[in-house]
Amino acid sequence: MKDIFEKIQKNMGPLGIHSKEAHGYYTFPKLEGELAPRMKFMGKEVLNWSLNNYLGLGNNPEVRKADAEAAADWGCAYPMGARMMSGNTSNHERLENELAEFVSKEDCILLNFGYQGVLSAIDCLVDRHDVIVYDAECHACIIDGVRLHAGKRYVYKHNDLESLETQLKRAEKLIGDSQGGILVITEGVYGMSGSQGKLKEIIELKKKFDFRLFVDDAHGFGTMGKTGAGTGEEQGCQDGIDVYFSTFAKSMASVGAFIAADKEVVNYLRYNMRSQIFAKSLPMPLVVGALKRLAMLRDDPSHKANLWKIVNALQGELKKAGFNIGITTTPVTPVVLNGTMPEATNLTYDLRENFNIFCSIVAYPVIPRGQIILRLIPTAMHSIADVEETIQAFKAIKSKLDSGAYKAEVITNVAVS
Ligand SMILES: Cc1ncc(COP(=O)(O)O)c(C=O)c1O
């Protein structure tokens, strides 16, 4: 018999294998100082495009005050226990009611975390007779929720309606006259490419097929739609979304999440969702803090307007400078470059050390070999001067990449202990 830890020494996993060279720099970097476009990385000020603090609420003085007061009033322990047992409060219910109203649904349930909430909601909504049909580029929380499913699942090509139709036909055929139904799962905004899920077109397919639609709108809530109510509002089809999910981890700049749907569905989730029934309730400071954030997001359109001013400037200038930013129609701004993994490493190092710009980098195996994506997240806190500085830096690194400069010397070890 083997020690189960034996494999750990041999194989750290697809990301872990880089830990020796990368820890503390490319992976687990420490951004210090106030949450803002300018933060400190390894003691030096960097222009930071890597936070999903879309509306700038994370460090807003009013929000900080509300968080501090709530922490002083309640502490982090209150309420104790799961919602169902002893952890319910009027503030939890008030937040649920306000969220439901804001996203035009009958009811809402709070979740402690987005990831485990999605996973658990999928687990709760389907049984072994049901079939899940989901987009190939869905977030890990959806993929992992689908993994728990004891019945069949079919994946369709990303945002490809023909592929979706094919899979819906297969699902219908498989279910036949049996007890099962179909759950289609998509995202509102895809966090890597910035493309929108084709919600309107997917909902149109309800005329041909019987299914319910689950939308993970983590990146759309607060950023999309006239009032910020998300991608369904943006596309004018919020009604057709049966289960609307978003997290507090992005526009709301906090921790927690929610699902909004018809009363009956939410009540079923309340009494059956294992991640909430068997876990302590969201602490009061997070609930009171979320009420404050929601009020600001909903009642003050200037945050979203500022965000989009920066989005339009950044994306417009990148395009003007000849950069490939893919098919984004949302604030998520990917800059797609061609290069190898060592080139990606060198380029990122150069960007951080010599141009003082910090952004996330995506390379193989997350995307195809030979591509590098620098992912920029504009926020309401950025300025037009930040955009200009970034465009100059990007032009410089692009010409170095094109000239092969990043091939020359491979920076192999920047790990910080
Ligand atoms: C699309 C999407 N869904 C779900 C989540 C998980 O949310 P949370 O951070 O609240 O666990 C994320 C990341 O935060 C995400 O990007």
Count CA atoms closer than 13 A to 348's CA, side-chain side: 30
Nearest CA to ligand 1 atom 8: 114
For ligand 1, whether the C-beta of 221 sits within 6 Å is no
Segment among 118-132, 166-180, 192-206, 354-368 with least mean pLDDT: 354-368
The domain 6-54+302-408 is placed in CATH, from the list 3.30.460.10, 3.90.1150.10, 3.50.50.60, 2.70.98.10, at 3.90.1150.10
Residues 233 and 224: beta-carbon distance below 8 Å: yes
Side by side, the strands of the sheet bearing 371-376 are 333-338, 371-376, 360-362
Name the pTM for this structure: 0.96
From the list 124, 169, 173, the residue with the least C-alpha distance to 150 is 124
3-state secondary structure of 323: coil
Report how far apart, in Å, the C-alpha atoms of 323 and of each of 138, 245, 401 are: 26, 33, 13
Phi, psi (rounded to 5 degrees) for 265:
-65, -45
Predicted local distance difference test score (pLDDT) of residue 131: 98
Model confidence band, residue 367 (pLDDT cutoffs 50, 70, 90): confident
* Segments making up each domain of the chain, as ranges: 6-54+302-408, 59-299
Tokens encoding 46: 């960097």
What percent of the chain has a predicted confidence (pLDDT) above 70?
98
Q: How confident is the model at residue 108 (pLDDT cuts 50, 70, 90)?
A: very high
pLDDT at residue 276, as a whole number: 97
Q: What is the pLDDT of residue 341?
A: 82
Band of residue 362 on the pLDDT scale cut at 50, 70, 90: confident
Whether the CB of 137 sits within 6 Å of ligand 1:
no
**Which one-letter amino acid corresponds to residue 393?**
A
Do domains 6-54+302-408 and 59-299 share one topology? The answer is no
* pLDDT per residue as tens digits for the range 132-176: 999 999 999 999 999 999 999 999 999 999 999 999 999 999 999
Q: What is the mean pLDDT of residues 13-36?
A: 89
- CATH level 2 (architecture), domain 59-299: 3-Layer(aba) Sandwich (3.40)
Per-residue pLDDT reduced to its tens digit, 263-278 = 999 999 999 999 999 9
pLDDT band of residue 363 (cuts 50, 70, 90) is: confident
For residue 364, is pLDDT > 90? no
- Residue 347 Cβ contacting ligand 1 at under 6 Å: no
Q: How far away, in angstroms, is 191 Cα from ligand 1 center?
A: 9
Q: Which residue's structure tokens are 């997001």?
A: 297
The atom number, within ligand 1, closest to the CA of 256 reads 10
Smallest CA separation from ligand 1 atom 14, residue: 249
Residue type, 256: G
Residue 220, ligand 1, Cβ within 6 A: no
Mean pLDDT for the chain overall = 95
Alpha carbon of 245 to ligand 1 centroid (Å): 10
Cα–Cα distance, 182 to 329 (Å, whole number): 29
**Beta carbons of 51 and 379 less than 8 angstroms apart:** yes
Ligand 1 pocket test target in 113, 118, 139 with most atoms within 8 Å of CB = 139
**Which atom of ligand 1 is nearest the CA belonging to 248?**
10
pLDDT band of residue 177 (cuts 50, 70, 90) is: confident
182-187 and 212-216 strand pairing: parallel
Q: What pLDDT, on a 0 to 100 scale, did the predictor assign at position 345?
A: 86
pLDDT band of 300, cuts 50, 70, 90: very high
Counting residues of the chain whose pLDDT is more than 90, the rounded percentage is 87
What pLDDT does 257 receive? 98
Mean pLDDT value of segment 75-88: 97
The confidence band for 318, taking pLDDT boundaries of 50, 70 and 90, is very high
pLDDT-derived band at 19 (thresholds 50, 70, 90) equals confident
Q: State residue 17's pLDDT score.
A: 82
Distance from residue 172's CA to the centre of ligand 1 (Å): 30
